[in-house]
Amino acid sequence: MTYYLIGGLGADKRVFDLISINADTVFLKWLGPFKQESLVSYVNRLSAQIDTKQPYGIIGVSFGGIVAVELAKILKPKYTVLISSVSKSSQLPKAYLALGKLGLLNLIPNGLIKPPQVLLNFMFGAKNKLLLTRIIDDTDPTFIRWALQRIIKWESDFELDHCIRIHGTSDRLIPLQGEAKVIEGGGHFMIVDMADKISELINEMILSN
């Protein structure tokens, strides 16, 4: 069985470098979004990278978890694993939804769309600050704006079958709401900082099923 991996907001496969999964894995490469492209349209294009002829699961981190939810709606994978993410839009912080309604994101120029490093370190709770810096530096500002707009406008209360959430108790970016397998002290960057614990939970799931 193959697990398809989806990184966070524009993040490449480096966020999975320390994860050890007892199964075949394939990293889904982000596509450049079309101007004003909907999340559904984008996800349909991204789905072409998944071989649905063989048993598979999807593992998504942060924004990649939201993408994983939308993929699961149309592809019906055997398992969907969400790390530092949400399964429903109601689990997002209400402040994010307010930003969407007010349209404040449209007032921020591309040159300022990436938050200051000090704020990033605090919100992500990152121990590996160098890797976080490199990932954000390498992310296209246009993609960041598009993805943030998709997040704050996302609406979904769909109940996924065979969905597992793994969430940290110290996640400042997306504070834990709803049911999840909890990692004590885990921040939003725990996919890197606590890779061993996340790997253990995922491998337990694979073994039990």
Comparing 32 with 120, the larger pLDDT belongs to: 32
Would you kindly state where each structural domain of the chain is located, as residue ranges?
2-208
Q: What pLDDT sits at residue 55?
A: 93
Asked if pLDDT for residue 165 goes beyond 80, the answer is yes
Instruction: Give the full edge-to-edge strand order of the sheet including 181-183.
Output: 24-27, 2-6, 56-61, 79-83, 163-168, 181-183
Nearest to 18 by CA among 117, 128, 104: 128
Query: Can you tell me the mean pLDDT for 91-114?
Result: 73
Q: What pLDDT sits at residue 100?
A: 66
In whole numbers, what is the pLDDT of the chain averaged over residues? 90
CA dist 22 to 14, 140, 163, Å? 18, 32, 18
Residue 72's Cβ-side half-sphere holds a number of Cα atoms within 13 Å equal to 30
Q: What pLDDT sits at residue 115?
A: 80
Asked if pLDDT for residue 64 goes beyond 80, the answer is yes
Comparing 111 with 54, the larger pLDDT belongs to: 54
| Best-predicted range by mean pLDDT (41-45, 126-130, 145-149) | 41-45
Each residue's pLDDT tens digit, 71-98:
999 999 999 999 999 999 999 998 777 7
Query: Can you tell me the mean pLDDT for 118-139?
Result: 87
Asked if pLDDT for residue 138 goes beyond 70, the answer is yes
CA dist 10 to 52, 170, 195, 196, Å? 24, 22, 19, 23
Q: Do 3 and 68 meet the contact criterion of CB atoms below 8 Å apart?
A: no
Asked if pLDDT for residue 101 goes beyond 70, the answer is no
Query: Does CATH place domain 2-208 in 3.40.50.1820?
Result: yes
Query: Distance between terminal CA atoms of the chain?
Result: 11
pTM: 0.93
